[in-house]
Structure 1
């Protein structure tokens, strides 16, 4: 691997060699590398003029835009860490994250500011409106004059690149610290994935997500072009991909499902695609097979955590018989399974997934206790990240996930994996998607309940689906109830919020 070089420096290199190459496309606007690099300079200079020093932090909470991308890179050029925040956060969580990150400036836009009117943000935090709206000082007024240059900063690889806050699906979000060195280990390896100056990457997931940065960073590092979607819609994605001759895309499984369901999907010219990616949520084998059959280009699934520690990679186009798995450990990534006592397990045995690799978080910001809980050490002292996922390796070394450890249902002393039941449910012709959660039971301790979204025109009802499913599973796996819902609640990156489903059912049972 080449010597460490920062992402903004790679952008500057492209600006010097290919100044008119388009860097970012945002709706009806676009910016070339020369102008993008100049904008990054002006932002870095503005941060310095605002009193920020290397190792300070800013927060961004906005929809994807040219300005958002430039502020991210401008902060890095000034040695300032970026804490990108989710617009879907509660006001209380939002305020807590801004405070936790010690952000000196908060960048927002009109699409996000209204949601946080009640957030208790320290008045010393300067606010800047990326879109020139009501979120704060207009970006154009805050920005340094054209041609401004920042004071040079030598970036230490151990400085913080970003603070990514966990989705909060299991509690208060935690700030995951990624160093500049860790990110370099990711964006510095471009060739195997086809990133380079010809790459055109459509990004339809939000820029606060690690999922998005996995493609955002290497596209800019390789001198490619980013096409940003402010909000995802399946047809809009297909139209952008065909219009801009997209070569790469990062999509979560629910987006793939919606895209493949577009009635005239096959009419869109997608032959330019080199590689498509997926991560963040379970990706059904049947859906992968449909993507491979109908969508040109390769399909790569990543399995791992924002915390790092280890990644499995499934090159689905090369291993069509392994679509039920999440692939094999990436090079230099040590993925193991351990039992409740911390013993390593062998092929075929089921245990918790732990991983060690060159890319691992520094820790959770201001939470040494949570950091210690997430790391696990073997007898030699080697550090692994605990994923909380349960899985097993097959005879070829491919990892098959069972479930989240916390989602496993223990009923009458038997372990029930919700994914097994979900797989059965989705085989019914009338079922679109399903989520199975543990509900308390006086008799069994816990019992499985399914929340199901039906296809249009479905003929089976909830009792009938329960009977159908229970005829096809083991006695101890049988569903206690089936609840029909219009949609499954999801995070912005497609994870089903099972805690919300559980709480909703508990509340309904109490009021019955």
Structure 2
């Protein structure tokens, strides 16, 4: 593979409160890059990443390419004489070079700030104001407006990076050497700042440390049974925890080759499955793959593991995947602030009496080293079957929100280390076997006439109705009840749905306060880049229905 210097010159009790146990041993006194680099195979000339160029030709990057090219970019950052632990913001398209920039930032001891490629000027201005990055890297096509925002806010360096291996970042890096000694970092030092989606207000920067990221990578390598010869099919974006940290760290810490798709395409995924063993996706990926006639047991015969997260997986999708491929999707649970915190088992789990079943509509058990509980409003653990707020503690939990001490304090329980639990904002419950199910976000809870309505409960019923592909239930203001539910439904291809008929069916099964007052059939639900339904937009759209 062409390396950077060759770039063309172009511009468990009744409460099921799971206390942490010890995770796998973690390297201390080194930064995350050092641990990832130490896992590279002895044969550095083997293929680390295989991808396609814009013209369709196959590009292969060796492990040596990853090492030497990230060293060149790290040496460029060192030559800029940046302040210690500077932020390096990147809003670029997915490419292996974007991965190299991330590795180089870790290697140089700075803090990586991945930004969604969908963000526009107002959002970028906020992130640059808040994080004050010393370096901003953007696509060549966005340089004019991104650089203007960055320079006027004090950023000293703005580089470009295209998905065709063009841009000033690689041009400048080509002048630097291919050897670089990683800057020492401790477990508690910042490695990345990941901004939350901001659906309930201003986005908050979750501060993730070298220890957070490395501990989670080591736990998942063990828990998900990574083994020599595994090949990861990577079709996720890399501005998000799922694609950047879970998927990439999983491959690098296991010395696994990656088949790298610039974007998700169901036919490209199907074509690549015979050469891979592990796939990570969001529910939308699995739904779209199920629509492909070529998906069958033969297509998935070499696969070892299908993992799903970032949004709830419908039980219908779980069942259909099992029937078509013979594989049970492993659903797990994580968020920007905690990385991965629970997972369905890969196989028999000695901590849970040998249970090895991957149960649809659940996110499994707490990962090793992670404390997990469901608590009431007073932060006291609740018994099995009761719904409460999911709280978590452990080495995976972030350091706090960047420059937001009040929001950080509000996000945690007591001050003592043993009592300090992060309040996820998700509502969940444990079943009698210890499996955790998520029933919704606390902000999505509907209180109608003084009664609690959990959207996931009603959505599950709607989704089981004939002809329904997916649904979302949101609460909107009501003059008598305070709030009432409004259902928004997508029909399966060829199905004709009637909103009033759906409400009539629900009314026969549920208490009146749980039954939506209106039901709308739409073509699609608003989603963010990771496939999560943006219920805040639905609430805003229908908030005036009863006023």
TM-score normalized by the length of structure 1: 0.91
Segments of structure 2 that go 5 or more residues without pairing to the other structure are 1-24, 53-57, 348-354
Relative contact order (C-alpha < 8 Å, sep 6+): which is higher? 2
Q: Who is 1:30 aligned against?
A: 60
Q: Who is 1:8 aligned against?
A: 33
- SS of alignment partner, residue 502 of structure 1: helix
Q: Who is 2:266 aligned against?
A: 234
Q: Who is 2:230 aligned against?
A: 199
Q: Who is 1:210 aligned against?
A: 241
- SS of alignment partner, residue 46 of structure 1: helix
Equivalent-residue separation in structure 2 for 1:201 and 1:250 (angstroms):
8
Q: Who is 1:19 aligned against?
A: 44
Distance 1:363 1:379, change over 3 A: closer
Deviates more, 1:342-351 or 1:431-440: 342-351
Distance 1:111 1:200, change over 3 A: farther
Q: 5 Å matches for 1:340-419?
A: 340-377=377-414, 382-419=419-456
- Residue of structure 1 aligned with 2:344, choices 311, 314, 328: 314
Distance 1:29 1:268, change over 3 A: farther
Equivalent-residue separation in structure 2 for 1:115 and 1:274 (angstroms):
45
Equivalent-residue separation in structure 1 for 2:46 and 2:425 (angstroms):
43
The count of residues paired between Structure 1 and Structure 2 equals: 507
TM-score normalized by the length of structure 2: 0.86
Is contact 2:94–2:238 with CA below 8 Å preserved after alignment? yes
String of CA shifts for 1:284-315, please: whole Å, max 9, x gaps.
Answer: 22322222333355632222332128722113
Segments of structure 1 that go 5 or more residues without pairing to the other structure are none
| Runs of 4+ with deviation above 6 angstroms | 132-135, 507-510
Is contact 2:467–2:496 with CA below 8 Å preserved after alignment? yes
1:152 CA drift (Å):
5.0
Distance 1:333 1:475, change over 3 A: same
Is contact 2:191–2:210 with CA below 8 Å preserved after alignment? yes
1:442 CA drift (Å):
0.4
Q: Who is 1:89 aligned against?
A: 119
Equivalent-residue separation in structure 1 for 2:510 and 2:356 (angstroms):
28
String of CA shifts for 1:168-206, please: whole Å, max 9, x gaps.
Answer: 222221111111111111123424423354221122221
Equivalent-residue separation in structure 1 for 2:148 and 2:454 (angstroms):
40
Q: 5 Å matches for 1:92-241?
A: 92-110=122-140, 122=153, 124-131=155-162, 138-145=168-175, 147-150=177-180, 153-189=183-219, 190-212=221-243, 213-241=245-273
- SS of alignment partner, residue 17 of structure 1: coil
Q: 5 Å matches for 1:320-335?
A: 320=357, 322-335=359-372
String of CA shifts for 1:346-373, please: whole Å, max 9, x gaps.
Answer: 2222211111122110111010011111
Q: Who is 2:16 aligned against?
A: none
Distance 1:222 1:483, change over 3 A: same
1:322 CA drift (Å):
3.2
CA RMSD across the alignment:
2.7
